[in-house]
Amino acid sequence: MNTYVILACVIGLMMTWGVGANDLANIMSTAMGSNSLSVRKAIVIAIVFEFAGAFFGGTHVSNTIRSGIISSTAFMHDPSLLIYSMLAVLLAGTTWMLLASYLGMPVSITNAIVGSLVGVGADVFGLNALHWGKVGAIAISWLTSPLIAGVAAFLLFLTIQRSVFASTEPVVKIRAKSPLYLFLVGVVLTNMIVIKGLAHFGIDLSRGWNTLITVAMALMVTLAGMWKIVRLPIPESDLPKDIFEYVERVFAFLMGLTACAMVFAHGSNDVAIAVGPISAVFSVSQGYVSQHNALPAWVVFMATGGVVLGLVMYGRKVIETVGHNITALTPSRAFCATLAAAATVIVSTSTGIPVSATQTLVGAVLGVGLARGIVALNLTVVRNIFMSWVVTLPAASLLAIAYFHLFHWLFN
């Protein structure tokens, strides 16, 4: 195997470990921080749906990272420059993700990789070599996706607060509202998993068929979910504590289903981003520069395995930051945040725009916190998170430029 490919895989494995310790830990933070899922269930969901998302949902985003930011024509005269650039991007992303994970800050691999690509592209090939339209669309998504997710989570939580928790009969209301919430979760799950899975196998259905499949699968999820919910024992006492514990148990079940969709979204977006530079190095090793030739399945498997290991071995600090320190989360609040974030990521990923799942979910958690008033937020933690997002771009760019010149010096 080509030495450059081996080096890219080694660095990529380290980076995906950092992605798991940071990005995936952030994704699981709402489920684990609200005690909706046990550690064992959370790990099982992470393994199954992270792998599924990476294999079935990440093609568009991986192609965007591979050749959608730096023009492939810039490498035609010397393809080795593409290799040095992508190795530098991988190592810059690795350095920044590991540092952020150590500090417990939920930074975004999307920001780190895109910032690295822009930095090394501008330094090596000049500003004209960058696809500024694509870069601008990605940058706009970093602003709009947390905002949209935050507004959606804010409105959803207010609706649940008023229609369920503030009612005179919360138990009756949650059992009556559960089919609607399950249907919404079913729509998200179907669009994330089924539609993307069919597209992965080359089955391109019309909008009508996609709508029909979505509705049918959502109804199946609703029926299966109601079968589970009606089996939950109704509290015998009228004590508010017992009543609200029952309501939160229902939302914990809904949260578990929604976490599956969010982890799949992370696999289809963030793992694809991490694999993108490896894919570019592999392309050059096979004699291609601009073509989107398929990446071997073992590379995707390796990258996804690194993400899961990172979560299990070192994800606790980021889980603590997002799951506990921004605002107090219960299963109902976590459900609102995760469902809003997953729905936002669906739209972005389907267009090939590498939206940050981390930023989207943090935005949704902020929306839920704001629904309870500004005092419900830990503004110091929020400030630190925003600052880490801002610092990521220049830090990753400078690291990538330094690493590019290091690789160019070593191999020449």
User: Got the DSSP string for 121-177?
Assistant: HHHHH-GGGB-HHHHHHHHHHHHHHHHHHHHHHHHHHHHHIIIIITSS-HHHHHHHH
Indicate the pTM of the whole model. 0.85
For 356, phi then psi, to 5°, come to -90, 115
Q: What pLDDT sits at residue 150?
A: 93
CB atoms closer than 10 angstroms to residue 232: 12
How far apart, in whole angstroms, are the C-alpha atoms of residue 69 and residue 385? 26
Q: What pLDDT sits at residue 174?
A: 94
Residues 6+ apart with CB under 8 A from 263: 24, 27, 28, 45, 46, 49, 50, 53
Q: What pLDDT sits at residue 172?
A: 92
Q: What pLDDT sits at residue 57?
A: 66
Question: Residue 26: which domain range?
Answer: 3-411
Residues 6+ apart with CB under 8 A from 31: 37, 42, 45, 255, 256, 259, 334, 338
How far apart, in whole angstroms, are the C-alpha atoms of residue 163 and residue 157? 10
Identify any residues that bridge with 70 across adjacent strands, giving them in sequence order: 130
* Helix 3-19, helix 109-125: angle, nearest 10: 140
> In 3-state terms, what secondary structure has residue 70?
strand
Q: What pLDDT sits at residue 394?
A: 92
Q: What pLDDT sits at residue 350?
A: 65
> In 3-state terms, what secondary structure has residue 235?
coil
Q: What pLDDT sits at residue 160?
A: 94
CB atoms closer than 10 angstroms to residue 83: 26
Taking Cα atoms as reference points, which of 114, 188, 142 lies closest to residue 355?
142
User: Which 8-state DSSP code applies to residue 34?
Assistant: T
How far apart, in whole angstroms, are the C-alpha atoms of residue 266 and residue 54? 8
Domain count, the chain: 1
> In 3-state terms, what secondary structure has residue 1?
coil
Single-letter amino acid, residue 194: V
- pLDDT tens string, the chain, 412 residues long: the values are 578 888 888 898 888 898 888 888 888 888 888 888 888 888 889 889 888 888 876 555 555 555 557 766 666 677 788 888 889 999 998 999 888 888 888 787 878 888 898 999 888 888 887 878 878 877 887 888 899 999 999 999 999 999 999 898 999 999 999 999 999 999 988 887 776 667 666 677 787 888 898 899 999 999 999 999 999 998 888 888 889 999 999 999 999 999 988 888 788 777 777 777 887 787 777 665 555 555 677 888 888 899 999 888 888 777 877 777 777 888 999 999 999 998 887 777 666 566 777 788 889 999 998 988 777 888 888 888 888 888 998 999 999 999 999 998 988 7
Taking Cα atoms as reference points, which of 140, 121, 123 lies closest to residue 131?
121
Helix runs in 286-330, H state only? 297-314, 316-320
What is the b/e burial string over 365-400, where b = at least 16 CB atoms within 10 angstroms of the residue's CB? Answer: bbbbbbbbeeeebbeebbebbeebbeebbebbbebb
